[in-house]
Structure 1
Amino acid sequence: MIIKKLLIILFLIPFFVIAESPEIFKGEVLDITFEEDTIIPEINLETFVQDLKIKIIEDNNKEKIIDVKNDYIRLKKGDRVFVENTGNGTKEEGSFIIKEKDRTGPLFYFLIIFVSSIIFFGGMQGVRSVFSLFLSFVAIGYILIPAIMSGYSPVLISSAVATAILFIAIYFTHGFNRESTSAFLGTVISVIVTGFLSYVGVKMAQFTGMGTEEAFILSLHGGVSIDFSGLLLGGIIIGTLGVLDDVAVTQSIVVREIYKLQKDMKFSDVYKRALSVGKEHVGAMVNTLALAYTGASLPLILIFYKSEYPVSLILSQEIFSVEIMRTVVGSIGLIFSVPLTTAFAVYLLRSKI
């Protein structure tokens, strides 16, 4: 339980530094006194309504039982939920709504399975990998997010944090050696290329950074001055780190293994052989990038599919065109990382052999 609370504090609190402080507390569903399925005639949508008795389990009014009407998410007896008091601080009946179901339990359990799987398969390298991932989220939660919320340039901060994350992810996971150095150099240059292309793309397409619901909500919080187009650029930079790290480290290891098989192989021969592996890897990773963004945007794609607007207008919608730009720019950075990292690895590891 202590570990669970520490994880919540570490990863979630920094991301809500701008949130107001409504009265929200945790409760448990004791009973469902009424439940009815209904249909909204105007849109022919099936819905429901429930009358719940909920016991407060985390608040100054702990153990108090309240009545809540719920039409947000279908609940059952024993479910734990977050309840918001909408009654201006009073606790009168009818002043509560279901804010969200408590999902920290399943998230925590799957996190444990994830970490255990990495350590079981990777051994000590798996432990280092988990530690580097932990430090990466610390950098994002305690450096990147607060700095952006304080008004610093999202592009500069994202670039600096991206470099730090790459250093942590590569060196802490794979060790302080020439393979890691070649991967780090190739990835950093690729991040610079990606950042430059992102800047050009955002300026040419005149993205405002306000194309998503999240950005709109963020803009409503008073006292926060954020460059939203810069935030979009920073998001593209951070989003490409994972695949760049993957490809760069793989290329370095491929070069090392080629040298192990034949130490006196020419520079050009090693480069060509390693590059042929890299081409196959890039083909797979570009597909991965495109499908990842497509999967995340699937509900949006379905909305546009039912739309009667022309295709050119749909593609020009910022919420849609940003994802296309994100995929394309990320893929270009990925392509650049292969020859760069391979060249660094062939040079650095040759002198090692």
Structure 2
Amino acid sequence: MKDDGLRYEELQFITRPYRSVFLGGLLIGAIGASMDNVVTIISSLDEIREKNPQLPLKQLLHSGQQIAQDTASSMINVLMFAYLSGAIPAFVFYIANGWNFADVMGMHLSLEILRTLCGGFAIVLSVPLALTAFGVAEGIQERRQTK
């Protein structure tokens, strides 16, 4: 999209190119959000497996999908509010120094919304990857136990 609509003024204090710093931050935020989601799903599935070892893998993976549906939306909401709350000090600074409210909102919201969207996509995309990894690990473990 060639950065249309993104306002990098929030990053004006950085002495490096804004875009690369912002993209690095997006990557770190997305990895952190997806890791949190993966750990939640895998640890829940491990606990279910421990409590009910006879549960078929297909049902266990279905439980993982249900866990992901329950947790993903709340994780995305937390991510959104974390990013928005991080912008509050700069927002107040600009308003206190006479900037127009609409300009400040546009400047900060463009970057925070993109951060939230990228983190949300990472959370959603981490679900099938986590379930696939869990399924492969369970399959390997079952083969070892039958030998």
Range class of TM-score, shorter chain? 0.7 to 0.9
Note if 1:205 corresponds to 2:4. Answer: yes
Contact 2:61/2:131 (CA < 8 Å) preserved in 1?
yes
CA distance in 2 between counterparts of 1:228 and 1:212 reads 6
Question: How do residues 132-147 of structure 1 correspond to structure 2 at under 5 angstroms?
Answer: none
When residues 348 and 268 of structure 1 are mapped into structure 2, their CA distance, relative to the original with a 3 A threshold, is same
Matching of residue 239 in structure 1 with residue 29 in structure 2: yes
Secondary structure in 2 matching 1:205:
coil
Residues matched between the structures, number: 138
CA contact (8 A) 1:209 1:228 kept: yes
Instruction: Give the corresponding residue for 2:130.
Output: 341
- Output aligned runs, 1:141-160, within 5 Å: none
The equivalent residue for 2:68 is 278
The one-letter code matched in structure 1 to 2:87 is S
8 Å contact 2:68–2:127 — kept in the other structure? yes
TM-score after normalising by structure 2? 0.75
CA distance in 2 between partners of 1:234 and 1:334 (Å): 17
**Deviation at residue 322 of structure 1 after TM alignment:** 0.8
| RMSD (Å), alpha carbons | 2.8
**Cα separation, 2, equivalents of 1:308 and 1:284:** 29
More helix by share: 2
Residue 256 of structure 1 and its aligned partner are, at CA, apart by: 1.9
Identity of aligned residues (%): 21
* Cα displacement string for residues 235-271 of structure 1 (whole angstroms, at most 9, x for unaligned residues): 1111233322221122112222222233343332111
Q: 1:250 and 1:292 mapped to 2: Cα distance?
A: 19
Q: Which residue of 1 aligns with 2:59?
A: 269
Report 1:73-88 matches (<5 A): none
Matches of 2:52 and 2:10, distance apart in 1: 53
Alignment check: 8 A CA contact 1:259 1:350 kept? no
Q: Are the aligned partners of 1:256 and 1:349 in contact in 2 as well (CA < 8 Å)?
A: no
Q: TM-score, normalised by structure 1?
A: 0.35
Q: Is the 8 A contact 1:208 1:229 kept in 2?
A: no
2:120 maps to 331
- In structure 2, what residue type is equivalent to 1:253? S
Letter in 2 for 1:321: S
Alignment of 1:154-233 (within 5 A): 203-205=2-4, 207=6, 209-215=8-14, 218=15, 226-233=16-23
Contact (CA 8 Å) 1:208, 1:228: kept in 2 or not? Answer: no
Aligned twin of 1:248: 38
Cα separation, 2, equivalents of 1:346 and 1:262 = 16
Name the structure 1 match of 2:145: none
Label 1:351 to 1:264 Cα distance change in 2 as closer, same or farther (>3 A).
farther
**Structure 2 unaligned runs (5+)?**
143-147
Tell me which residue corresponds to 2:140. Answer: 351
Shift of 1:208: 6.8
Contact kept, 8 Å, 2:7 with 2:111, in 1: the verdict is no
Do structure 1's residue 295 and structure 2's residue 85 form an aligned pair?
yes
Which structure has the larger Rg? 1
1:257-311 deviation digits (Å, cap 9, x = unpaired): 222233343332111111211222212211111111111112455539x8464xx
Between 230-239 and 204-213, report the one with greater CA deviation.
204-213
Distance 1:240 1:308 in 2: 29
How much does 1:210 deviate?
4.7
